[in-house]
Amino acid sequence: MDYRLEEDSLGKVKVPSDKLYGAQTARAVENFPIGEEKMPTEIIRAYGVVKKAAVLANYEQELISREKRDYILKAADELIAGKLDQHFPISLWQTGSGTQTNMNVNEVLANRISEMAGEEPGSKKPVHPNDDVNMSQSSNDTFPTAMALAAVSRTEDFLLPIFEKLQTELEQKAEKYSDLVKVGRTHLMDATPITLGQEFAAFSAQITDIIEMLKDSLKYIKKLPLGGTAVGTGLNTKVGFAEKAVKFINLETKNSFRVAQNKSAGIAAHDSFVNLSGVLKTAASFLMKLANDTRWLASGPRCGIGEIKIPKNEPGSSIMPGKVNPTQAEALFQVAAQVMANDTAVNIGGGSGNFQLNVAKPLIIHNILQSISLLGDAVKSYNQRCLKGIGANQEQIESYLDSCLMLVTVLNPIIGYDKAAQIAQKAFKENLSLKEAAVNLNYLTEAEFEQYVDPKKMTEPNLE
């Protein structure tokens, strides 16, 4: 491999000739040989937006020339478009402020500009990576700003639309099966009736709340500490820089980010990201229940509950012919477990740091972005390959309902809890129907039993 020499404050370093990064990045590659994870591309491209906004603000404040502004804008556009992704080799597991990634961005943009201007990479002409690309900035305020841009974009543009499609499908199932009465279950035991539609409606209500929680959590993420530089004080910036830079971020992203009132808080702690991760964990908790209920209700086909039928996507066993498994639900369950684990890491990362700097920024954003991606992919797959194709096994549902002992609950207001319990116990012990047991005990006539015990009426308030 061919190399060129680049120099930073510690001296000269070999850099691969086909790469646009410089000495600071090369040192980071050498000093952090940890794991296989790299900085998420969402962060790299969000950094392009940050650098564009910064140079535009600096130009408005007459701190940088038009020529340098135009060069940085052009290179940053390439970064945002993904044309420079191959020049970011640093491990995710680096300094907790993300400093190495910020310097990586500065160097790549500066060296790309050198190429544009016909200069040698590493010459720092016509643009300097620190003096120009990083003007009015620090890693400490730009990295959490990039974190916010990436998290908001992935949540709003990717995750929320998928959750909304899941909500729509659940609502359609709720309407379709609104009159199909079935056995309810609590503690995995028979309970009073519910409609299959009401069961789906409960899931729809859960995802509706989660969508609202996600939207609410983004309000706090959108407070940007940009302009705070090293410790939130704004050293080496001109008054008004933050407001101008955030204005340009909003023009670029078509969003509604705003300047954090206290930039030190946005650098030293990341409570808003901890909050977002908590909502993602809540979504995972809901999805775990949805997955497990799918598995239970589809269990069988002859020796389980079998109240719903799921699509047959692929063979389920290498040894048992004809077996079909709830694989989409199992994948969803596993993703939910991983997201819960990610939240634990974010919680620890959110509480880490001392004084004016949180030092787990890469950890926090890696886990949040992974959770968003996993949840979106898994829900999309479950919705398309399982939920849409779920149908009711009406014969099985009716069979269970006819034999359900907990239908006796409706008799409590009529004959009392104790007599109703005797009916249920006698029916179970002697293998009788509830009606037979009630008549044998002389608590009700057949006509009275049929008048009071109507499963459909038991799925709504029934007392006059």
Query: Which residues does the annotation place in the binding site for substrate?
Result: 97-99, 128-131, 138-140, 186, 318, 323-325
- Is 155 exposed, middle or buried (CB count within 10 Å of its CB: 0-12, 13-18, 19+)? buried
Tell how far CA 355 is from the center of its chain: 29
- Residues at the binding site are 97-99, 128-131, 138-140, 186, 318, 323-325
Measured between alpha carbons, how far is 166 from 386 in angstroms, rounded to an integer? Answer: 11
Determine the residue type at 30.
Answer: E
- Nearest CA to 210 among 163, 244, 171? 163
Q: Two tokens at 21?
A: 């990064």
Measured between alpha carbons, how far is 349 from 337 in angstroms, rounded to an integer? Answer: 19
Strand partners, 14: 5
Strand partners, 415: none
User: Can you state the angle between helices 271-298 and 139-153, rounded to 10 degrees?
Assistant: 30
- Is 157 exposed, middle or buried (CB count within 10 Å of its CB: 0-12, 13-18, 19+)? exposed
Q: Two tokens at 180?
A: 């199909």
Residue 361 in 3-state DSSP?
helix
- Nearest CA to 308 among 163, 460, 173? 173
- Nearest CA to 144 among 217, 225, 220? 225
Residues labelled catalytic: 187, 317
